Structure 1
Amino acid sequence: MKVFFRRIHLYLGLTAGLVITISCLTGALLVFEKELTEGFNHRRYFVEPGGARLQLDEVAALVKQAVPGAGIARVQVFADPARTIQVQLEEGRKEIASGKRRKGDTGKEGAGPKKEKGRTAFVNPYTGEIIELYSYPQTFYYKIFSLHRWLLAGATGKLITGISTLIFFFILLTGIILWWPKTRNIFRQRIKVKWDGNWKRVNNDLHIVLGFYTSIFLFVSVFTGLTWSFEWFSKALYSSLGASLKPAAAPLSAPAVDITGKSISYETALAVVKHAVPDALFYSFTVPKDSSAAFTVSLLPAGALHEAATTTYYLDQFSGKVLASQTFAQRNLGQQIRSTVKPLHTGAIFGTPSKIFALILALLGATFPTTGTIMWLNRTMKKKRKTASPAVPEAGAAAQVA
């Protein structure tokens, strides 16, 4: 039976090995993306605190003035006084020369240009200076992310990556079956690398021993990756857990009492939410899209379970009254799982220690297709030598022994 699983393991590895290697190497590069991006672009994210912070509404107005025609999708302010304010813009879509419409376009004349999330303005909170208009799709790390997720090849690349990830799941499964020892002596051999052996033995141990130790954690990476690659997999996962992905309906604002119907300011919203949660790491504001929607504020509490364990406040857009709030623990199971998938996949779930572990794991994952291929080549060459070796006469054999 193990011969069968060995062949399956080999053929799957040869089929998807290159894509698995690329995914693991790019994944390793992405683990500390946030830290490296902030480190190499310090001026974008950090300023020298000085004086009183500008009102958020004044910052938003300065950004709109600097980028005519742009709307404000989100404003994010950090508790750290040295951090810049981040203003996510909504910018009109550019016309496509070919005349083709994007998905979702109505094509009706007079509908006007639609808004979509565009660049991010990084603003000095003390001077109002727009330090940079930042576009993530134009960065080095976006290219790495695109290579990781869809091999820089759009939908086709995404499908190839998804299939390779699924194959990786079965590679890990068959690898555990092949590793499983029959005797105690074999077990001892398969839990440690014989560093003083020849290079072939070391290569075999790197593949077998380290493959065993990392398999359970690679299963987590593969499993979470599959939820993004295939909708059917994601639906099956949440269905099996009896979890719904549908969030609770957001509350609505009461009709405006003031004849002007003026919405509350960013600064008012900040004061309301800060009163409730004064020690949050950041506050993120989204203005209502119409006269009945609520003013939404998301924040990351100090000591949150992970970076996606945010709390959401819904404020009446006219009075500023808190209509409802929802902590991470109050979300339904499906929403909690969905928010946890990315931190699990990237290693951010427990902060820097788990990120370091994820980096090592990704680098080891990238070596397994290579060490496995070397094992296969060594076995193939050994078989060929045995087949090619002529029968040695007894006398000749005796002479050789002598």
Structure 2
Amino acid sequence: MSPIKSVIRDLHLYLGLVSGLVIVFVCLTGCILAFEKEIEQTWYSERYFVAPAPTAPLPLARLADAVRAQKPKAKIASFKVYADPTRTVEISLAGGPNGPEKGSIPTEAKQEGRGAERPAEKPAGKAEGPGRGKGDGGGPRLYVNPYTAAIVGEINPRDTFFHTVEQLHRGLVAGKIGKLVMGISSSIFLFILGTGLVLWWPAARKSLTQRLQVKWGSSWKRLNHDFHVVLGFYASLFLFVLAITGVGMSFDWVSQGINQLTNSPLKRPEPPVSAAPAVAGAAPFAPDAVLALARQQAPGAISYSVQLPKEADGSIKVAILPAGAIAENATNEVFLDQYSGQVISGQTYEQRPVGHRIRGLFKPVHTGAIFGWPTKTLALIISLLGATFPVTGTIMWLSRRRKNRKKMRQLQTV
């Protein structure tokens, strides 16, 4: 082995030993998150699905009344309605269990306040789905039967099992320090993958076949070697993608660099405001009218999210997820005047700045959710393989050490 390759091997080895446990942990928690949505909907199917009725769904106003009857102090932040007739309607509340605490600022208001960057555009923003999502107002989320107005489930998005797993995956529940540790670990993993490819590259063409096939009938040591070298080569490209997106979600400078390279603004524009009502005390535009307008504009959409304004001059935000969307956050947005229902502004997903779209794809690509089941399955397999490489690499290192010690003892005996 050449001196350069010897140095690369040492770097590959010792960086792998230092970060091995973290890599195994991150890969295993990533496996759990790959099918988060499907697992949640299977475990708690009564929360997400109902038997469709022959009658039309009840108006959102009736569903809102049912929520207020159970939680008199609740302040409804948003509705999410699915085109699927078997899905429940998700109603998110602002603030704590019974609404916003006195003097508190709902989480969504903090995140989407004027001049702030909206969650959908944050590189580490959460994708909509079971257990959590955008527009929840910082409070609990209730699941309501659209045909009977019965409340069939309630969760706090921040208290779910998968939210805890994601916090462990992203930062070991250690805040900024944990996020920094994970970002550094992802960067080290990228270097390990790069040095691994250099070490894998055969010196002679006749050795190429040996490094592309696992010798299944060999000894366990040879199998361990092939699992690390051969499977590592096949998985490296996909692991590169997972590690790069992990780095992108951990460091803000990555997002800033993408915005600068694509000439995109650092922040999304401020939400538009509603005009003062012509009559004092005018009633706000009803959510049912907003939903009807959204369905008229996009009749074939998968879901419609209606986010109610938090201020007297705020606007109603409607997020429409079109059929065939590349990800759950690839929504078309429309802002309405909360008193007249007039469309103030709108933006399709394709009209968003390129940098914002790239950043919004970090998590769907990282979790494999970007193309549904096929990429989720691929992400699960690759994550499992990623968890084995530190183990097989450590076994190779220990075997090599024992072999070298045995040679040294033989030389001393001679």
C-alpha contact (below 8 Å) 1:272/1:320 kept by paired residues: no
Aligned to 1:177: 198
Aligned to 1:136: 157
Query: Given the two structures, how large is their TM-score scaled by the length of structure 1?
Result: 0.89
Aligned to 2:34: 31
Counterpart secondary structure, 2:264:
coil
The one-letter amino acid paired with 1:34 is: K
Q: What residue ranges of structure 2 are gaps of 5+ in the alignment?
A: 108-137
2:69 paired residue among 65, 84, 90: 65
C-alpha contact (below 8 Å) 2:308/2:317 kept by paired residues: yes
Aligned to 1:107: none
C-alpha contact (below 8 Å) 1:47/1:83 kept by paired residues: yes
Percent identity (aligned): 45
Aligned-partner Cα distance in 2 for 1:128–1:314: 27
Return the offset for 1:236: 2.8
Return the offset for 1:200: 1.3
The one-letter amino acid paired with 1:33 is: E
Return the offset for 1:392: 6.8
C-alpha contact (below 8 Å) 1:226/1:234 kept by paired residues: no
Aligned-partner Cα distance in 1 for 2:326–2:162: 26
Aligned-partner Cα distance in 2 for 1:391–1:369: 33
Query: Given the two structures, how large is their TM-score scaled by the length of structure 2?
Result: 0.86
Aligned to 1:205: 226
Aligned to 1:18: 21
1:222 paired residue among 216, 225, 243: 243
Tell me which moved more, 302-311 or 244-253.
244-253
C-alpha contact (below 8 Å) 2:97/2:139 kept by paired residues: no
Q: 1:252 to 1:390 in 2, by over 3 A?
A: closer
Aligned-partner Cα distance in 1 for 2:64–2:296: 22
**Can you list the C-alpha shifts for 1:68-118, whole angstroms capped at 9, x where unaligned?**
322222110111111111111112499xxxxxxxxxxxxxxx973433401
**Can you list the C-alpha shifts for 1:248-275, whole angstroms capped at 9, x where unaligned?**
3433333322333321010000111111
C-alpha contact (below 8 Å) 2:96/2:140 kept by paired residues: no
Aligned to 2:182: 161
Tell me which moved more, 38-47 or 383-392.
383-392
Aligned to 2:51: 48
Aligned-partner Cα distance in 1 for 2:283–2:43: 42
Once superposed, what is the RMSD of the aligned Cα atoms?
2.0
1:263 paired residue among 255, 265, 284: 284
Tell me which moved more, 288-297 or 350-359.
288-297
Counterpart secondary structure, 1:155:
helix
C-alpha contact (below 8 Å) 1:93/1:113 kept by paired residues: no
Aligned to 2:125: none
Return the offset for 1:390: 4.4
Aligned to 2:146: 125
Aligned-partner Cα distance in 1 for 2:374–2:173: 30
Q: What residue ranges of structure 1 are gaps of 5+ in the alignment?
A: 95-109, 394-402
Aligned-partner Cα distance in 1 for 2:28–2:333: 35
Tell me which moved more, 355-364 or 227-236.
227-236
Aligned-partner Cα distance in 1 for 2:149–2:376: 35
Counterpart secondary structure, 2:334:
strand
C-alpha contact (below 8 Å) 1:92/1:113 kept by paired residues: no
**Can you list the C-alpha shifts for 1:183-207, whole angstroms capped at 9, x where unaligned?**
2112222112121222111111111
The one-letter amino acid paired with 1:15 is: V
Aligned-partner Cα distance in 2 for 1:257–1:264: 13
Aligned residues: 378
Aligned-partner Cα distance in 2 for 1:310–1:193: 44
Task: Give the greater-gyration-radius structure (CA).
Answer: 1
Aligned-partner Cα distance in 1 for 2:202–2:253: 35
Counterpart secondary structure, 1:125:
coil
Aligned to 1:232: 253
